[in-house]
Amino acid sequence: MNAPVPGLKPTTYIGQDTPRANARRLLAGRGQYVDDMHLPRELHAAFVRSPHAHARITRLDLSKARQARGVFWCGTGHDVAAVVSPWVATLTHFKGLKSAPQYAVALDRATWQGEAVAVVVAQTRAQAEDAVQLVEVEYETLPAVTDMETALDATTPVIHPDLGDNLAFTRSLDTGGVGDVFAGAHLVVEDTFRFGRHTGVCLEPRAITADYDASEHQLTVYLANQAPHMMRDIFAKHLDMPESNVRVIARDIGGSFGIKVHVYPDEMAIVGIAKLLKRPIRYSADRLESMSTDIHAREHRVKARMAVDKDGRILAFDMEDLTGIGPYSVYPRTSAVEGNQVVNLTGGPYDFRHYIASLKVVFQNKTPTCQYRAVGHPIAVAVTEGLVDLAAQKLGMDPAQFRRLNLIPDDKYPYTSASGLKFEQLSHHACLDKLLKLMDYPKLRAEQAALRAKGIHRGIGLAALIEVTNPSALFYGVGGARISAQDGCTLRLEPTGWVTAITGVTEQGQGTEGMIAQVVASAVGIPVEHVRVITGDTDVTPYGGGTWASRAAGIGGEAALQASKELKSNILALAGAILKRDAAGLDLRQSQIVERATGEVLQPLSETARIGQYRPDTLPREFQPQLSVTRQYGQRDWPFVFTNGIQASYVEVDPDTGFTRLLKHWMVEDCGTIINPMLVDEQLRGGIAQGIGAAMLEEILYDADGNLKNATLADYLVPMAAEMPDMVFGHVETPTKSSELGAKGAGEAGTAGAPAAVMNAINDALAPFNARVTDQPFTPERLLKALGKV
Amino acid sequence: MKAPPFAYRRAENLTAACALLDAHGGNARILAGGQSLIPTLNLRLSQPELLIDISQIADLRGIRVGANEVVIGALTRHVDIERSADLARLCPTLVEAARHIAHPAIRNRGTIGGSIALADPAAEWPAAALAFNMTFTAASSKGERTLSATGFFKGLYETALEPGEVLKSIHVPLPAAGGKAAFGELTRRSGDYAIAGAFVNANLSGGRLSGVRIAFFGVATQPVLAVGAMQALEGTGGDAAALSAARARLEADLDPIADLYNSRATKLHLSGVLLGRLVAKLFA
């Protein structure tokens, strides 16, 4: 007897650890990075870079270089300026932000060590580098502005005399009455926090191949970049070409972390030279160039204080942030954003009403800084959480209890913070509860106390955080930046029943393609293996912003969901026409057209698609199947959709050596709907590793003359696997109502909170010695100094 | 980051290598594992005309146990030392130190001879050579000669090797009965160059130390024998007073210099902490 065939039930990949298709390809070495692409007739470029932080070029002689073997072309800043117009990186919503015109290659003056002053094009990169050594440049060195603390002093030279001073941007925020609150407070804690300048170290360096076809006046740029449409607009504008004649292709990207979302002068030069020479030109930054020309970030000094009442309730914050950004604001997102975020985010997780803040953003003769993963967050979180732990310590309160008292209650949303941020719905208390359980907080405290009695000094540090994700047009668009605030997804039903998804958000190695495939497969009703995802080609994908500010899943995922729903509806209409049934009674499950009520299989999707493509003659005259759809989505309900989370770090400090061992790290995070738990956890894990880099290792060192002292990976210390603690994750899911998918970003919360958690853990371990550190990274020497040992 | 142009010759034997060195004077460099030389070329810090590749000379490779010494061929890779059963039995401190040399990929290529001939002040083997009183055999077209590790390291990347000489083998005296040794280094990441590192080698008999040799690396422009500290510990039981006296001599012994992240004072402090821990290990 045959068993009855069970009907198919709806299935979903949302919330599943679905392996991503591109992981196998990348592991097999079949990635298509820019450096893997080769074009006929291509030439290689290498740059002559200033050895001085600030110098006038008094003589530049290319004649010997031009004679060198394999050399095709050499040029100065003036030669490149003939084809690439300069830019000034300001946006109107940062009132008063100023910067100077920046050229692709310096004209007559270099303003940081590493700025390009000439370029050589040759048959091979080695020949180009040989010829670089033959370029004769004489410099008149100029005083370098390196210390941000004195950048605004009257005696300090002004880097751009036309601007009048070295102040790029300033901002003040005052909710009023803050002075009185501090004056009447039971306790005021204050401290100064310093943050080492660092950079995002990508496995794949910046890379570009530009190909100009004069016959069609067409420029094609293969670029390791997060925002291909933004770059297309910029290339068109500064090469004076119609945007439609520019194509930007960004296939596989080997990590970006915000590094690859900016305009780099050397990349602009390559595009210009390709147009000038009418030949493909390629260039990859080598590691030395990456360290001195990729954007830097995070050089801040924050003086801050916090007022608390006798019960331990936070009353007010007062902070003053000083940050140095190099000689130019970086195009087109500007270098005002990081400091602005620090002002916005300080105190962010806590319920208080009084806040006063001031920000100064100054120019220096160092590598330009701009947005790097978790822009501003690690600074704001460290300042806030550092003061929170200090207050708890002074009051003799447990730091977890202090947070429970002060975190914005989970039932108090929507909520507007003292700095004016609008929160839809956060879950600080649910996350705190889950974290304390996950780490068995009381047991850990008991262990810490027991070991301390034996002379083993361990510390526990907590750090609550909020993260900016799913930005609206308020991030850049309102200021005049031509950076798309929306994204689109096109779906195409193939005759086989497979679906091709073409999305504007980009893959940086983090799993965007896998995430899109999961959303599409779930919402259309097909196996995830039947979805093929295409990203990163401005000739092909819908116009969109790309991947930054933790927006790919929240914005790109929602566009994919809406497109999927539309495609499914079209497929069911087609099936209804074929089967002569009402489409409303049909569903698509596991690539089968089924009866919605029973799940009874009526027709394989492959058959529906075949008829739709090849035999529309069999369909009613008035029915036209629509088998490709596009949907766009821009988040418009909130300026940003905030996420929240909390981290904990457990460390052991050796008071004799000042060495810190990271024993364990926990994080509970709420990024709304989780599409792929494994990918979310890996985002958090990688983010925490980068945050640990900031806390423990990474700092770009300059001498007083602006010479970069640690431009190799032997000297600039990035976090490595052996030093990473085990990390444990937990999640709370509060979907955003601003989209149907409900997903928020998860890309930056790890980086945002890890430095603060580690700092608090170290200071907890140092507490018996009456010692405290607040300058990142927390090197052995800084601990030894705090301990009075050196 | 491409190396400037250079010529390349693979030497089939030591005689050929020496002949090439003679023919090209100071413009040739010996290529062994290449783990220091190649980055130097790629950074264009050095522009030799010729690289003489000795990596295929089989008799320069291997570990041989003799009556009074272990002979390590100059081309013996760090990983070969790390995995040597003979060394694990006879000189376990060297095996322990090998694990701290950079990362596996580098240990799979880098050689002990290259490390000693380069004399990087932050490297482990030059200091080990001092602490264990090793001797070296150097070969040239004029023949072979024996050099003592003591006096071999003359300054930053400077050694007693003459132009035209190739380091052939490293001779490690077998420890006497009662021989004790300890190794340690302080690094912020595993595999990094040490902020301070040291080998301590001594005989322990009746609770007293004799023949104490202490060599530091990563603290000065060359590996350093801490002569004052050695004297302070000689004949003692490594007690607190002796250690304190030894630590007091370190500043003069080491004359430490700051690195990118650590001041002279920090280097000195950490050297002292390390010394205390290593001496304690001798008695463990």
Which tokens belong to A718?
A: 């990035």
Confidence (pLDDT) at A432: 98
Which tokens belong to A441?
A: 């907080």
Of B2, B263, B265, the CB nearest to A125: B2
CA-to-CA separations, A328 to A96, A112, A478, in angstroms, rounded: 15, 10, 22
What's the rounded mean pLDDT across residues A222-240?
98
Q: What is the pLDDT of residues A253-308, one digit of tens each?
A: 999 999 999 999 999 999 999 999 999 999 999 999 999 999 999 999 999 999 99
- CB spacing of B189 vs A709 below 8 angstroms: no
Q: Is A779 on the interface with B (CB under 8 A)?
A: yes
Among A18-22, A224-228, A341-345, B227-231, whose mean pLDDT is lowest?
A: A18-22
CATH number of B58-173: 3.30.465.10
Burial (CB < 10 A; 0-12, 13-18, 19+), residue B232, is: buried
User: Which of A129, A198, A713 to probe by mutation at the B interface, max B CB count within 10 Å?
Assistant: A129
Question: Could you report how far apart the first and last alpha carbons of chain B are, in Å?
Answer: 48
Phi-psi region of A672 (alpha: psi -120 to 50; beta: other; left: phi over 0): left
Nearest CA of chain A to the CA of B270: how many Å?
Answer: 6
Q: Note the Cα A120 to chain centre separation in Å.
A: 32
Nearest CA of chain A to the CA of B106: how many Å?
Answer: 13
A777 → chain B, closest CA residue: B261
**A189 contacts A390 by C-beta, under 8 angstroms:** yes
Sorted by sequence, the CB contacts under 8 Å of residue A323 that are 6+ apart come out as A148, A299, A300, A301, A338, A339, A342, A359, A360, A361, A362, A369
Output the average pLDDT for chain A.
Answer: 97
Q: Is B248 on the interface with A (CB under 8 A)?
A: no
Q: 3-state secondary structure string, A318-361?
A: EEEEEEECCCCCCCCCCCCHHHHHHHHHCCCCECCCEEEEEEEE
* CATH fold group of domain B181-283: Enolase-like; domain 1 (3.30.390)
Q: Which residues of B73-107 are buried (b: 16+ CB within 10 A; e: fewer)?
A: bbbbbbbbbbebeebeebbebbbbbbbbbbeeebb
Confidence (pLDDT) at B26: 86
Q: In chain B, what residues touch A719 (CB-CB under 8 Å)?
A: 189
Q: How far apart are CA B112 and CA B110, in angstroms?
A: 7
Q: Is A713 on the interface with B (CB under 8 A)?
A: no
B268 → chain A, closest CA residue: A790
Which tokens belong to A725?
A: 């603690």
- CB spacing of B4 vs A784 below 8 angstroms: no
What chain A holds in terms of domains, given with CATH numbers, is: 21-31+486-634 (3.30.365.10), 34-142+205-253+259-293 (3.90.1170.50), 374-465+642-786 (3.30.365.10)
Q: How far apart are CA A220 and CA A281, in angstroms?
A: 11
User: Which of B45, B47, B188, B263 to probe by mutation at the A interface, max A CB count within 10 Å?
Assistant: B188
- CB spacing of B188 vs A720 below 8 angstroms: no
Q: In chain A, what residues touch B123 (CB-CB under 8 Å)?
A: none
Q: What is the residue extent of each domain of chain B?
A: 7-53, 58-173, 181-283
Q: In chain A, what residues touch B191 (CB-CB under 8 Å)?
A: 720, 722
Q: In chain B, what residues touch A701 (CB-CB under 8 Å)?
A: 260
Of B189, B260, B270, the CB nearest to A722: B189
A657 → chain B, closest CA residue: B270
**Of A297, A269, A344, A314, nearest in space to A119 by CA:** A269
Nearest CA of chain B to the CA of A245: how many Å?
Answer: 33
Phi-psi region of A77 (alpha: psi -120 to 50; beta: other; left: phi over 0): alpha
Sorted by sequence, the CB contacts under 8 Å of residue A430 that are 6+ apart come out as A410, A670, A732
CATH number of B7-53: 3.30.43.10
Q: In chain A, what residues touch B193 (CB-CB under 8 Å)?
A: 714
Rounded to 5°, angle at Cα B229 from B226 and B231: 110
Q: How far apart are CA A337 and CA A341, in angstroms?
A: 6
Q: How far apart are CA B109 and CA A418, in angstroms?
A: 59
Confidence (pLDDT) at B25: 82
Rounded to 5°, angle at Cα A478 from A472 and A481: 100
**A471 contacts A640 by C-beta, under 8 angstroms:** yes
**A520 contacts A512 by C-beta, under 8 angstroms:** no
Query: Residue A621 above 70 pLDDT?
Result: yes
Q: How far apart are CA B218 and CA B221, in angstroms?
A: 8
Number of neighbouring beta carbons within 10 Å of residue B235: 11
Of A130, A133, A781, the CB nearest to B266: A781
**A20 contacts A517 by C-beta, under 8 angstroms:** yes
Number of neighbouring beta carbons within 10 Å of residue A29: 7
Question: Could you report how far apart the first and last alpha carbons of chain A are, in Å?
Answer: 86
Q: What is the pLDDT along chain B (284 residues), one digit of tens a residue?
A: 899 999 999 999 999 999 999 999 889 999 999 999 999 999 999 999 999 999 999 999 999 999 999 999 999 999 999 999 999 999 999 999 999 999 999 999 999 999 999 999 999 999 999 999 999 999 999 999 999 999 999 999 999 999 999 999 999 999 999 999 999 999 999 999 999 999 999 999 999 999 999 999 999 999 999 999 999 999 999 999 999 999 999 999 999 999 999 999 999 999 999 999 999 999 99
Q: In chain B, what residues touch A656 (CB-CB under 8 Å)?
A: 273
- CB spacing of B188 vs A133 below 8 angstroms: no
Q: What is the pLDDT of residues B206-256, one digit of tens each?
A: 999 999 999 999 999 999 999 999 999 999 999 999 999 999 999 999 999
Of B192, B260, B266, the CB nearest to A784: B266
**Same fold: B58-173 with B181-283:** no
Peptide bond into B104 cis (omega under 30): no
Burial (CB < 10 A; 0-12, 13-18, 19+), residue B211, is: middle
Mapping DSSP to helix (H, G, I), strand (E, B) and coil, where does residue A688 land? helix
Q: Is B45 on the interface with A (CB under 8 A)?
A: no
Query: Residue A3 above 70 pLDDT?
Result: no
Mapping DSSP to helix (H, G, I), strand (E, B) and coil, where does residue B265 land? helix
Q: Is A723 on the interface with B (CB under 8 A)?
A: yes
Q: What is the pLDDT of residues A210-230, one digit of tens each?
A: 999 999 999 999 999 999 999
Assign A5 a pLDDT band (cuts: 50, 70, 90).
low
A710 → chain B, closest CA residue: B260
- CB spacing of B266 vs A790 below 8 angstroms: yes
**Of A137, A133, A136, A127, nearest in space to A45 by CA:** A127
Q: Is B196 on the interface with A (CB under 8 A)?
A: no
Q: Is B270 on the interface with A (CB under 8 A)?
A: yes
User: Which of A49, A659, A707, A724 to probe by mutation at the B interface, max B CB count within 10 Å?
Assistant: A659
Of A126, A288, A781, the CB nearest to B261: A781
Nearest CA of chain A to the CA of B5: how many Å?
Answer: 8
Q: Is A712 on the interface with B (CB under 8 A)?
A: yes
**Of A453, A510, A486, nearest in space to A751 by CA:** A510
Q: What is the pLDDT of residues A304-337, one digit of tens each?
A: 999 999 999 999 999 999 999 999 999 999 999 9
Side chain identity, residue A773:
V
- Total CB pairs under 8 A between chain A and B: 65
**A282 contacts A208 by C-beta, under 8 angstroms:** yes
- CB spacing of A657 vs B186 below 8 angstroms: yes
- Sheet order of strands, A457-469 included: A457-469, A641-654, A659-670, A726-731
Q: What is the pLDDT of residues A522-544, one digit of tens each?
A: 999 999 999 999 999 999 999 99
User: Which of B263, B264, B270 to probe by mutation at the A interface, max A CB count within 10 Å?
Assistant: B270
Confidence (pLDDT) at A1: 43
Q: How far apart are CA A616 and CA A635, in angstroms?
A: 38
Q: Which residues in chain A (667-696) have CB-CB distances under 8 A to chain B? A: 696
- How many residues make up chain A in this entry? 790
Q: How far apart are CA A570 and CA A561, in angstroms?
A: 14
Q: In chain A, what residues touch B188 (CB-CB under 8 Å)?
A: 659, 696-697, 717, 723, 779-780
Q: How far apart are CA B120 and CA A417, in angstroms?
A: 56
Residues paired with A57 in a beta bridge? A139
Q: For residue B258, report the phi and psi dihedrals to the nearest 5 degrees.
A: -65, 150
Residues paired with A466 in a beta bridge? A644
Query: Residue A682 above 50 pLDDT?
Result: yes
Confidence (pLDDT) at A21: 85
Q: What is the pLDDT of residues A151-175, one digit of tens each?
A: 999 999 999 999 999 999 999 999 9
DSSP for A629-687 reads EEEEEE--SSSSEEEEEEEEEEEEEETTTTEEEEEEEEEEEE-BS-S-HHHHHHHHHHH
Q: Which residue has the higher pLDDT, A23 or A602?
A: A602
Place of tokens 């570990």: B63
